[in-house]
Structure 1
Amino acid sequence: MIIASPNVCLMEEGFLFPQMAHHKVFIYRLYLVLIIVLLMKQPLCCYTRVPVLYEKYEDQVDSFSEKAMIKIKKQYAVLDAKVLSKIPRGPLKDKKKGLGKPR
């Protein structure tokens, strides 16, 4: 009697032997190579396209970034006034040793 599964066959005597395991290893390695190639493709496209697009739309990008920085500064001022300024600060320790009046 032989019990078959997709990757291993079990005979009556209890021997296990691989069935098409080398094909699965090949497919797995091919899959890993494809993933690595796709992950390398995205930064390469960004490195080549972003400078070209910036040169083409430089005025619009600069105006948008200035507006964004103004909004960010306003939001930080609100955050500082409402949250950060209310955080209590402990007394600062003087780390100056030997600079005070002689005893």
Structure 2
Amino acid sequence: MSFIVEILVMGLAMLLGAYITPGVHVDGFGSAIIAALLIALANATIGFILRIFTLPLNILTLGLCSFIITVLMILLVDSMMTSFNTSGFWSAALLAIVMAIIKMIFGGLTSSRA
């Protein structure tokens, strides 16, 4: 049951993030859920491998390299989907920040109810 709630929270965070962030467009809630799942899958697979290779650089930059990898995963999903569009690197970076804040807020709300 918590997995379903997490998927819905990710989709809502994507939809709100696309609404707040200029240069990002998602066609609807279904597309937002699919985009959020694909971003999570890309971060868990390709992003994980890239984080292992860039670990020394990530330590030196205090995690900035991980943030850039997340932005690149958003751009990868953008190129894979027609119903999710970003206008470039900076809009994807702003979307990553907005989504992290929204997921943090909703995560705090859903964990306090459980």
Taking structure 2 as the reference length, what is the TM-score of the superposition?
0.26
Structure with greater Cα Rg: 1
By relative contact order (CA 8 Å, sep 6+), the higher-ranking structure is 2
TM-score by length of 1: 0.29
* The structure with more helix, counted as a fraction of residues: 2
